[in-house]
Amino acid sequence: MMLKVAIVVIPEAFPHSIIEPLDVFSRCQTIYQRRTGQVHSHKPQVALVAESREQTIELNGIRISPTHDITTAEKFDVVWIPSLMVDDALSYRQRKKMQRWIKDQFQHGAEIATVCTGAFLLAETGLLNHRESTLHWSYSDLFSEKYPLVRVKPHVPIHCEDRLYSAAADSEWITLATEILERKYGKVFSTKTAEMFIFNGYKRVSGQVFESRFTNQTQDAIIAKTQAWISEHISEENLISRAAMEFGLSESSLARRFKSAHRESVINFIQHVRIQRAKEALEMTKLPVERISDLVGYRDSSYFRRLFKIKTGMTPKQYRKQCSA
């Protein structure tokens, strides 16, 4: 039961997005043994694959050198595409040889896993056409513009369809890796591996993401579903009335049950989610504040600026400057 994993190495890749899965897949057998005292007989084989063996990545003295190039005849069980720096020139599009290699591996039975903006490289192969994928919501407009045949689900943390896995954000990489390990080696093995990397322990993905501030209190299933629905539709208008209608509640009943579940109002929840999404966009993109305001659901950018300062103590511009300092 050897699991053979190939991690893609191209110049646009973020080094951490290569090193982290390399560490997990290479050490998962050792982690399991130390946490359980039990010997696990199967160790994944991990390769770093580039278009050529000379195509290294260097950052602050750290050098990532590929172990294989795309001329290898080896067939892998999983091809892992790391998150990428998607620049204005869309330079990842030049990696035609790598794209053909990924497509060939898929056609020979490999599962393909993308993290965040790694979805751009996979989309360039055409494998995502007429399928669904997720990636970070702040890149969803650009992605949809470049790949209109792909149905984007930017507020779903993990998505899987037809041997194609995707994680919306870099922070979800361990969940994605754990899902792959579970399919190969079982739930106990994958959970014990994930416990080393996730403070609150591994919780299997159920298809929707809840904002972390509100995840661990409610026993009300309807309110839990409401949270997920709001998070997925956060950029839209009239969320409270539409959520109430979606789950067969009156607005007053929704407000009362939410307050009872969390000791905070549904309005505060919406504001929290929107401000968190705005922070991410300010950190990760160069989008103007007016565009970010619209993306997170505030059509009045002046109101958004005032609310952002109340919640964070800084204007959006000040927050962005601090993050880039």
Tell me the CATH number at 289: 1.10.10.60
User: What local confidence, expressed as pLDDT, does residue 1 receive?
Assistant: 65
Q: For the chain, how many structural domains are there in total?
A: 2
Buried/exposed 178-207: b ≥16 CB within 10 Å, e otherwise = bbbbbbbbeeebbbbbbbebeeeebeebee
Residue in this structure with the two tokens 């997925």, named with its chain if needed? 232
Three-state DSSP class for residue 102: helix
Whole-angstrom distance, CA of residue 267 vs CA of residue 95: 46
User: What local confidence, expressed as pLDDT, does residue 198 receive?
Assistant: 64
Three-state DSSP class for residue 214: helix
Whether 164 and 311 map to the same domain: the answer is no
95 DSSP assignment: -
Which residues form the domain of 132?
4-194
The last residue of one of the domains, among 168, 194, 220, is 194
Whether 190 and 98 map to the same domain: the answer is yes
Whole-angstrom distance, CA of residue 248 vs CA of residue 293: 30
152 DSSP assignment: E
User: Contact, 317 vs 293, CB < 8 A?
Assistant: no
Q: How far is CA 88 from the centre of its chain?
A: 21
CA atoms within 13 A on the CB side of 30: 5
- CATH (domain of 76): 3.40.50.880
Structural domain includes residue 199: no
User: Contact, 11 vs 2, CB < 8 A?
Assistant: no
User: What local confidence, expressed as pLDDT, does residue 210 receive?
Assistant: 35
Task: Give pLDDT tens digits along the chain (325 positions).
Answer: 689 999 999 999 999 999 999 998 998 888 888 888 887 777 789 999 999 999 888 877 788 999 999 999 999 999 999 999 988 888 999 999 999 999 999 999 999 999 999 999 999 999 999 998 998 888 888 999 999 999 888 777 888 888 899 998 887 888 888 888 888 888 888 888 877 776 544 444 433 333 344 444 456 788 888 888 888 788 888 999 999 999 999 999 999 998 888 778 899 999 988 998 888 888 777 788 998 999 889 999 999 999 999 988 999 999 988 876 5
Whether 230 and 313 map to the same domain: the answer is yes
Name the nearest CA neighbour of 125 among 148, 96, 105.
96
User: What local confidence, expressed as pLDDT, does residue 213 receive?
Assistant: 41
User: What local confidence, expressed as pLDDT, does residue 202 receive?
Assistant: 47
The pTM of this model reads 0.68
Whole-angstrom distance, CA of residue 61 vs CA of residue 137: 32
The last residue of one of the domains, among 159, 194, 229, is 194
Structural domain includes residue 202: no
Strand 62-64 and strand 57-59: the pairing is: antiparallel
Name the nearest CA neighbour of 156 among 120, 177, 126, 132.
132
Structural domain includes residue 201: no
